[in-house]
Amino acid sequence: MHFDSSRVKSDGKDKKVSLKKKQTLHFVYLGSMLELLNLIGAELKPAQDGHWLDQIEPATGRVTGRLPRSKKADVDEAYSAANEAFPIWSVTPIEHRAACLRNLAALIKQHSDVLAHAESQDNGKPISLAKSVDIPRAEQNLAYFASAIEQFSSEAHIPAGPSHINYTHRKPIGVVGCISPWNLPLYLFTWKIAPALAAGNCVIAKPSEITPVTAWMLSQWVLEAGFPPGVLNIVHGLGPEVGQAIVEHPAIKAISFTGGTATGAHIARTAGPMFKKMSLELGGKNPAILFADCDFEKALQTTIRSSFANQGQICLCSSRILIEDAIYEQFRDALVSKVKRMIPGDPMLSDTKMGAVVSASHRDKILGHIQAAQLEGATLLCGGHLAEAPNDRCEKGYFVQPTVFENAGPDCAINQEEVFGPVITLQRFHSESEALQLANSSNYGLACTIWTQDLGKAHRVAAGVESGIAWVNCWLVRDLRTPFGGVKASGVGREGGWSALQFFTEPQNVCVSLT
């Protein structure tokens, strides 16, 4: 691999910055168990108070390692390292920052097999999904924001016959916090740190304690990629402890958070009165709206994917399937017959399409939603139970059958609360306006999918749906330049493209007299 070097100009001096030589992976094993460490400054280290958390493989229920249970003292130390690095990193030439991001992207690519294996083991997702989606997208996130920062620009306002000119100076914010969830671990972790670093900030990042391994692997390549010590710090531990310490640290100026709506509300209550910049990407209860004139086969195949990919644990998954009356029975029967054939398998096997859900507590939460739906009178069409272990290795794993309900009213809990698992409901509609009414009868507003061959209708429905994202005749197609985020209880702010770079910079208007 070719590593670049470049020059950093600071305080009028030219300083040669060499990118570190390639390091050997030094994953630490305790017997057959992994021992994860925090990255603080240039050091990989345990939590200051020496406490640990178990790391569990969802497909087997086995403890596979341990991670630091970091606290406020560790965040304080990470803050000192980040704050020390900021004066240089914030004025580091854009080409150099971009080169560091590209180097890290290249290291992800180089280690993509080991990362995919780790992601599948840590999360329970099929290894084929980790290989085709999670790890390539983590690489793309870094590579994309390396290019984006090179193209980023800001505005100037020049009146006719000018006596003054105004321009917007977009400055890095300072030390920022990035907190990410467990469902797409490295994918969402890099989606946050890449724009933050590209824009010249120093970062304290916390991956979910449930799926920390790939972020920890990444932490071993940060210096090798050329980032100066302290620019990116990665602290592991529990949300209410180390996450909370990041959010309430008085000198961390912005929080980029992806996770559940209740956690987002809690973070907003803490960080709001401190006037921190916040981007909150939260939960969803996404409708798929199928009109009778849709391409039936394409809509069917994609709806199965949009409902059950990653065991339904993607914030963009469809969970409320709204079907026009004329095709309701035909679509329901075709869907249920296919879903009945979807059997969860060992995530580590290359032909597995559906794996384990992420934890025992999440499995129990999903089963609780299923039971509550039945008590509310919803009709169970398939699934509804624990799935059989696919093999001896997975005997103690967390497997849930893909589950389909009908006859649940729009106000039922199963149509209102985010399950974040392989559970969907089918509802019937008779008109475009009724479809919209059902789609919008939710507190959430992240994404929707619209299936029709009539693009005029698709446009009208997209305009009427309260969501940050609308897909027409497709799902999960992402162009990283587009704004990404939700409305209502799905969050505030937008990530992606210029939106992310704008979030991670502070605009200052500069007015210059020309006379």
Stretch of residues binding ligand NDP (CB under 6 A), selected from 193-201, 396-404, 426-434, 485-493: 485-493
**Residues 290-309, mask of contacts with ligand NDP (x by CB under 6 A):** --------------------
Please state, as a whole number, how many other Cβ atoms lie within 10 Å of the Cβ of residue 225.
22
Least distance to ligand NDP, CB of residue 123, Å:
11
Q: Choosing from 57, 209, 241, 281, which is the catalytic residue? A: 281
Are 264 and 236 in contact, with CB atoms under 8 Å apart? no
CB under 8 Å to 126, separation ≥6 — which residues?
A: 120, 345, 347, 352, 353, 354, 355
Of these residues, 100, 202, 315, 448, which one is catalytic? 315
Q: Give the interface segment with ligand NDP, choosing from 88-96, 117-125, 282-290, 343-351 (CB under 6 A).
A: 282-290
Q: How far apart are the first and last CA of the chain?
A: 53
Establish if 243 lies at the interface with ligand NDP (CB under 6 A).
yes
The residue with tokens 């310490």 is: 245
Cβ 270 to ligand NDP shortest distance, Å: 7
Shorter beta-carbon distance to ligand NDP: residue 126 or 445: 445
Q: Give the H/E segment covering residue 5.
A: none
Enumerate residues 84-143 that contact ligand NDP by CB under 6 A. Answer: none
- Measured from the Cβ of residue 273, the count of other Cβ atoms closer than 10 Å reads 8
Is residue 315 within the footprint of ligand NDP (CB under 6 A)? yes
Q: 491 by DSSP, 3-state: which?
A: strand
CA distance 172 to 169: 10
Element (H, E) at 178: strand 175-179
For ligand NDP, the closer CB: 238 or 386? 238
Query: Is residue 281 annotated as a catalytic residue, yes or no?
Result: yes
Binding mask 418-457 toward ligand NDP (x if CB under 6 A, else -) reads x-x-------------------------x-----------
Of 11, 26, 1, 188, nearest in space to 92 by CA: 11
Near ligand NDP by CB under 6 A: residue from 267, 354, 373, 480: 267
Candidate residues 36, 116, 282, 500; the one interacting with ligand NDP per rule CB under 6 A: 282
62-68 vs 469-472, strand pairing mode: unpaired
- List the alpha helices (DSSP H) in 311-454: 328-340, 360-375, 413-416, 432-439
Closest separation in Å from C-beta 418 to ligand NDP:
5
CB 208 within 8 A of CB 182: yes
Q: Please say which residue, 303 or 490, places its beta carbon nearer to ligand NDP.
A: 490
Binding mask 205-224 for ligand NDP (x = CB under 6 A): -x-xxx--------------
Using rule CB under 6 A, residue 284 touches ligand NDP: yes
Question: Restricting to residues 143-202, which ones interact with ligand NDP according to CB under 6 A?
Answer: 179-183, 188
495 and 191 Cβ atoms separated by less than 8 Å: yes
Encoded tokens for 357: 């859900």
Q: Binding to ligand NDP (CB under 6 A): which residues in 34-63? A: none
d(CA 169, CA 275): 21
Q: Write down the H helix ranges in 124-260.
A: 127-129, 135-151, 185-198, 213-219, 244-247
Kindly tell me which residue out of 59, 247, 288, 289 binds ligand NDP, with binding defined by CB under 6 A.
Answer: 247
Least gap, CB of 118 to ligand NDP (angstroms): 17
Does position 266 bind ligand NDP by CB under 6 A? yes
Q: Say how many C-beta atoms besides its own lie within 10 A of residue 6's C-beta.
A: 17
Residues of the shown chain interacting with ligand NDP in the complex, contacts defined by CB under 6 A:
179-183, 188, 206, 208-210, 238-240, 243-244, 247, 258-260, 263, 266-267, 281-284, 315, 418, 420, 446, 486, 490-491
Could you give the residue numbers annotated as active site?
Answer: 281, 315
